[in-house]
DNA sequence: AATGTCGTTCCATTATGTGGAACTCGCTCT
DNA sequence: AGAGCGAGTTCCACATAATGGAACGACATT
């Protein structure tokens, strides 16, 4: 019944590989602590101390103190089986973070409109590094739970939102982002190389919208259009998603226009309401 | 070394920090950084550098570096108006944190059942310090958005969930928690003293359930029952909430039983599925 | 009992964060 | 204009707070 969970294999993190010259983040102590936190939080399985030990590559004593601090702060909790789990303080932070998100608020009415036009699920996602973070959604059927994808992070290269966002990046930033990608096969259609992805992006750029042809999940298709501000500080996308049996590629072509219009309307509102520049 | 979260009932904490280096001491650098993050994230208004300066009580140079680090880490972003806002990384963390929450998963079917029985909104919240963190909900009408309260933090003393949770605390912990409270009047019915709250809690303890008689928001009532594990490491509550015009106190009395049953069922499931102890 | 694994604690070393003061920018007031 | 002010940013001697190797204790396995 409920489930969610999804996938999102983003196993980056944990720069274990290079103990020597590990190239520590620029943010010193905080960065290291967050890196540990992220390892725990994004793991698909519960982690014990020594699991984290190998993933993080830190010395025992150091890691132990970092974890203790994270627990003291309520960002992690340790169950009686000694496994570390995400703590409630994270939820609290996120609620505030989400409810105050200006971009989401500005875009919300457009999402609803697009949903009314198409009848399928509409997503809003923001580009962050090599990931798309889902920021809002309007669901078709009010299924079970709200536990929508909000906050979920999916790779750029296999989602409509991701490809739409990438397609408008200035060449420099695009190259930089592509360079950081590591590909993972989710379905038979997943892009597995930068070259293949780049061709797809070129088409998307010309058309003004991108598809997901069951590249992330089988039986799931979507069409997405890019949103960005003048300075490309904000790069995002809006999409309509549906099951393949109900949503043909022809249907997606038809929806492409409304999706683009919604995207453009949001882009405009962003410039107006969040101020030029930003 | 207890220290958990310490204060912060939202609202003004600004100047409580005056007594020289008030509350830190727990987790060193990380704690301070998170304290800054929390100030920004929980603020009701956008904050500029110097706002945070007075709120945090840190020296200029220090605060500036802390903020820079938080921005570098993606926990905050700085708009062109120089205001700091919560960053997307928080959302990502929270999604994982929420979707992996065992307690929520165990309780979910009971929430749905209770919703079917009552037809009104059902909430699940966990006690954390002096706050109740909303962890899940099932809404009556699928209004607009999912933006439910999930992750929202409300004071214990004016919510049904909060009072239900407090009512089962062992005397020691209850006293400790009451001692940390600072009361703020939300409505005409809000408890404004520990004494008054304590009387209410005594009644709730006897009955086995607690009410919110428009104590947090006018025109909103609820009935809530406590959930906890053997060691009181997990203290939570489940509630049914509705608008006063539709939900009379008599109605709440009637729902009290189903609510209690749901709470007890969850308590049992927790012991079984999450293991004794914890 | 002996051995191995895992989590926790200790402590000398030094890398890191600290915070007062000086600097820069943009704005308002006269 | 120019002085004056307030907001944000940078700098650097100093000491706090993180580091990580090594020892310790608790179980489990043989």
In chain B, residues under CATH classification 1.10.10.10 are 14-93
Angle value at C-alpha B14, between B12 and B17, nearest 5 degrees: 125
Q: In this predicted model, which residue has the larger pLDDT, A186 or A137?
A: A186
Which nucleotide is nearest, taking the CA of residue B65 and each C1'?
A: C17
What would the pLDDT profile of B72-108 be if each residue is shown by its tens digit? 999 999 887 888 989 889 988 888 888 888 888 899 9
In chain A, residues under CATH classification 1.10.10.10 are 1-87
Mean pLDDT of the region B40-67: 90
pLDDT of residue A148: 58
At the topology level, CATH places domain B14-93 in: Arc Repressor Mutant, subunit A (1.10.10)
Cβ contact B249 with chain D strand, < 7 A: no
In chain B, residues under CATH classification 3.30.450.40 are 101-273
Burial bucket for residue A106 (CB in 10 Å: 0-12, 13-18, 19+): middle
- Per-residue pLDDT band at A154 (split at 50, 70, 90): confident
Q: Does B105 touch chain A (CB under 8 A)?
A: yes
At the topology level, CATH places domain A1-87 in: Arc Repressor Mutant, subunit A (1.10.10)
C chain positions with any atom within 7 Å of a protein CB: 5-11, 16-22
Q: In this predicted model, which residue has the larger pLDDT, B204 or A28?
A: B204
pLDDT of residue A26: 64
Give chain A's mean pLDDT.
Answer: 84
Cβ contact B64 with chain D strand, < 7 A: yes
pLDDT of residue B70: 93
Residue in the structure block whose two tokens are 């020289």: B20
Q: Decide if pLDDT at A18 tops 60.
A: no
Q: Do A128 and B81 touch (CB under 8 A)?
A: no
Window from A1-5, A86-90, A256-260 with minimum mean pLDDT: A1-5
pLDDT of residue B151: 75
Q: Decide if pLDDT at A69 tops 50.
A: yes
Q: Does A102 touch chain B (CB under 8 A)?
A: yes
Window from A159-163, A272-276, B85-89, B132-136 with minimum mean pLDDT: A272-276
Chain B positions touching A145 (Cβ under 8 A) are 108, 136, 138
Which nucleotide is nearest, taking the CA of residue A58 and each C1'?
A: D20
Q: Which residues pair with B235 in a beta bridge?
A: B228
Residue in the structure block whose two tokens are 């966990």: B126
Contact A220, A212 (CB under 8 A): yes
- Per-residue pLDDT band at A113 (split at 50, 70, 90): very high
Q: Decide if pLDDT at A24 tops 50.
A: no
Mean pLDDT of the region B210-227: 94
Nearest to A164 by CA among A94, A267, A242: A267
Mean pLDDT of the region A226-251: 92
Q: Decide if pLDDT at A242 tops 50.
A: yes
Q: In this predicted model, which residue has the larger pLDDT, A76 or B140?
A: A76
Identify from A4, A77, A88, A122 which residue to disrupt to test chain B contact, counting B C-beta atoms within 10 A and taking the largest count: A88
Q: Could you tell me the distance in Å between the CA of residue B112 and the C1' of nucleotide D30?
A: 51
What would the pLDDT profile of A32-47 be if each residue is shown by its tens digit? 999 999 999 988 888 9
Q: Could you tell me the distance in Å between the CA of residue B180 and the C1' of nucleotide D16?
A: 30
At the topology level, CATH places domain A101-273 in: Beta-Lactamase (3.30.450)
CA distances from A46 to A9, A32, A43 (A): 15, 20, 7
Cα gap A209→A237, rounded to integer Å: 10
Please compute Rg for chain B using Cα positions.
20
Q: In this predicted model, which residue has the larger pLDDT, B11 or B225?
A: B225
Q: What is the DSSP string of chain B?
A: ---SS----SS--GGGGTTTT-S--SSHHHHHHHHHHHHHHH-SS-B-HHHHHHHH---HHHHHHHHHHHHHTTSEEE-TTS-EEE-HHHHHHHHHHHHT-HHHHHHHHHHHHHHHHH-SEEEEEEEETTEEEEEEEE-SS--S----STT-EEEGGGSHHHHHHHHTS-HHHHHHHHHH------STT---SHHHHHHHHHHHHHHT-EEEESSSSTTEEEEEEEEE-TTSSSEEEEEEEEETTT--HHHHHHHHHHHHHHHHHHHHHHHHHS-S--
CB proximity under 8 Å: B 131-190 to A: 131, 133-139, 142, 144-153
pLDDT of residue B9: 33
What would the pLDDT profile of A166-193 be if each residue is shown by its tens digit? 999 999 999 999 999 999 999 999 999 9
Q: Decide if pLDDT at B249 tops 90.
A: yes
pLDDT of residue A97: 83
Percent of chain B having pLDDT more than 70? 85
Q: How far is B124 from chain A (nearest CA, A)?
A: 13
CA torsion angle A94 B73 A25 A165 (round to 10): 100
Which nucleotide is nearest, taking the CA of residue B60 and each C1'?
A: C19
């Amino acid at each position: 019944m409920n489930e969610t969970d999804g996938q999102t294999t983003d196993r980056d993190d944990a720069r274990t590989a290079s103990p020597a010259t590990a190239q520590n983040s620029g943010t010193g102590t905080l960065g290291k602590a967050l890196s540990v936190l992220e390892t725990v939080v994004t793991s698909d399985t519960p982690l014990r101390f020594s699991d984290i030990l190998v993933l993080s590559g830190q010395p025992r004593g150091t890691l132990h103190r970092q974890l203790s601090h994270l627990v003291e702060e309520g960002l992690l909790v340790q169950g009686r089986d000694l496994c570390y789990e995400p703590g409630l303080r994270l939820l609290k932070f996120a609620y505030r973070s989400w409810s105050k998100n200006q971009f989401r608020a500005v875009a919300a009415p457009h999402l609803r409109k697009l949903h009314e036009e198409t009848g399928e699920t509409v997503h809003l996602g923001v580009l962050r590094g090599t990931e798309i973070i889902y920021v809002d959604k309007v669901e078709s059927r009010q299924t079970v739970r709200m536990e929508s994808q909000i906050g979920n992070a999916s790779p750029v290269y296999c989602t409509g939102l991701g490809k739409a966002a990438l397609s408008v990046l200035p060449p420099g930033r695009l190259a930089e982002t592509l360079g950081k990608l590591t590909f993972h096969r989710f379905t038979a259609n997943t892009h597995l190389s930068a070259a293949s992805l780049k061709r797809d992006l070129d088409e998307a750029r010309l058309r003004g919208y991108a598809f997901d042809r069951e590249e992330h999940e089988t039986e799931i298709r979507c069409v997405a259009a890019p949103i960005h501000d003048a300075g490309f500080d904000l790069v995002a996308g809006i999409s309509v998603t549906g099951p393949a049996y109900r949503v043909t590629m022809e249907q997606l072509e038809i929806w492409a226009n409304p999706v683009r219009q919604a995207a453009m309307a949001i882009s405009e509102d962003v410039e107006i309401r969040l101020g030029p520049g930003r």
